[in-house]
Structure 1
Amino acid sequence: AALLDRVSGDELLAHLLVLHSLHPEPPERRAERAVERLRPAVRERGGDLEWLGVEGDVARVRVESGGGGCGSGCGA
């Protein structure tokens, strides 16, 4: 279990394992972890993400906008 955690935690190695269909985690869990990693950055900008799961070959995520438009990154 510890080895699997180290393998899937190394970004480069994880990408190589996905490329060769050898990654130990199922795609659903990898997608859920990606949403978890993005959530703080989205919340920082006033929005939120909700992981809804997988339906067939499609991962579903609800994105809520903070209502502030594009923020300060749009330029003027």
Structure 2
Amino acid sequence: MKKQHILAALTLITVSGLVWAGADKATFQNLDTNNDGQITLDEANKSSEVKARFTQADANKDGRLDAAEFSALEAIPKESPMEIK
């Protein structure tokens, strides 16, 4: 009986962790707070990942990300820490 309770608790912890991790993911709709179809750098500041890659993702260099540019963020590699030699 104890094993079932432990298994149930571990399952709940795992599922809630997955839900929590997904809730933090930045989406175009969440960042586009004024619903103009574009994300400015001010709006991107709500997500450290989007903010860090904003300039690279802004393909036409207009200072805003449209939906296509935002989608391309996934292909831009995250900066890795500098190697220590």
Q: Give the TM-score, by structure 1 length.
A: 0.25
Which protein shows a greater Rg? Answer: 2
Of Structure 1 and Structure 2, which has the larger fraction of its residues in helix? 2
Q: Give the TM-score, by structure 2 length.
A: 0.23
Of Structure 1 and Structure 2, which has the larger fraction of its residues in strand? 1
